[in-house]
Structure 1
């Protein structure tokens, strides 16, 4: 029994001491993140937002650091806004201007359903293929999107894949693999 009593006494003394009152705690050394954007800021807590743009005749992913991953519709709007100044200076463009106009996206069961209007009548033009590829590659970069379909006036739309064949099934980046380049 004396062994058991010694073990209990030893374990009781191995805790964190309790203070009678709160005591101040100093921040660890290093840059501090400011919620207002002033002062020294770090990238702690920021996430990657992947956007697929065009350079030459290839699809390339650009990663932007953002405070939080936006919803799927906002993510698509960021793509439609096109490359930023630094991205344009690096040679990135977008095939989305002058092709199909995008009316919005709805996410259901991991499939992003994109409503398009205007141009995009399954012509198979290479810039149209790149435009659809940009949307598919951008949206499927998200963990919550496993495929992308397209609609016009509420009806399923056949869109060109990289090989020029048309599909109305959910598309993934694999359907545009031959167009995806390396930076």
Structure 2
């Protein structure tokens, strides 16, 4: 019985202390906002798109995540194609670049959540050829997706040995943690 009285007293005190006086009749309330049908030009430009897409780019020999806003979640191949295309003008203005020296990358994602990336021959005319950063860009970009846990590389369907962040070679599937020593602040 004491608990019930205490609970009722607490509820009464909370209701009385909320600052809204009790009224018997409804009345008009003026809200401090504009009408919903009024159009106002935004004062701050928000990023376009509903989905955050992570791209791993390079700044000062470090991997840096850049977030792009897109309308829908792109497939793994589309995201890889965008990585190959390089940084946007806004990303270049932030001194971001790419270490990718190839345009021939194809990704498939079997049901195991390990993406298999087919690597074609590299373009010898490319400006950069730092393989560790290039493979790190691919791994970090693709594993930022919810549907990909690791990335393996192959050439002509055969496993390809690629460098980890510590420069050791492996043909095993790689994760972003394998490039932890190369990941820098954004």
TM-score computed with the length of structure 1 as normaliser: 0.71
* 1:15 counterpart residue number: none
Computing the radius of gyration over CA atoms, which structure comes out larger, 1 or 2? 2
Report how far residue 29 of structure 1 moved: 2.9
The question of 1:29 aligning with 2:32 is answered: no
Deviations along 1:135-165, one digit per CA (max 9) or x if unpaired, are 0000000000000000101101010001110
The question of 1:62 aligning with 2:69 is answered: no
Which portions of structure 1, spanning 4 or more consecutive aligned residues, are displaced by more than 6 angstroms?
39-45
Q: Where do 5+ consecutive residues of structure 1 fail to align?
A: 1-27, 33-38
Q: Where do 5+ consecutive residues of structure 2 fail to align?
A: 1-34
Q: Distance in 1 between matches of 2:164 and 2:38?
A: 46
- More strand per residue: 1
Q: How many residues align?
A: 144
TM-score computed with the length of structure 2 as normaliser: 0.70
Q: Distance in 2 between matches of 1:30 and 1:72?
A: 40
Q: Distance in 2 between matches of 1:148 and 1:30?
A: 49
The question of 1:83 aligning with 2:87 is answered: yes
Q: Secondary structure at the match of 1:118?
A: coil
Q: Distance in 1 between matches of 2:92 and 2:135?
A: 20
Report how far residue 80 of structure 1 moved: 0.5
* 2:141 counterpart residue number: 138
Conserved? CA contact 1:55–1:93, under 8 Å: yes
Pairing partner for 1:105 from 104, 107, 110 = 107
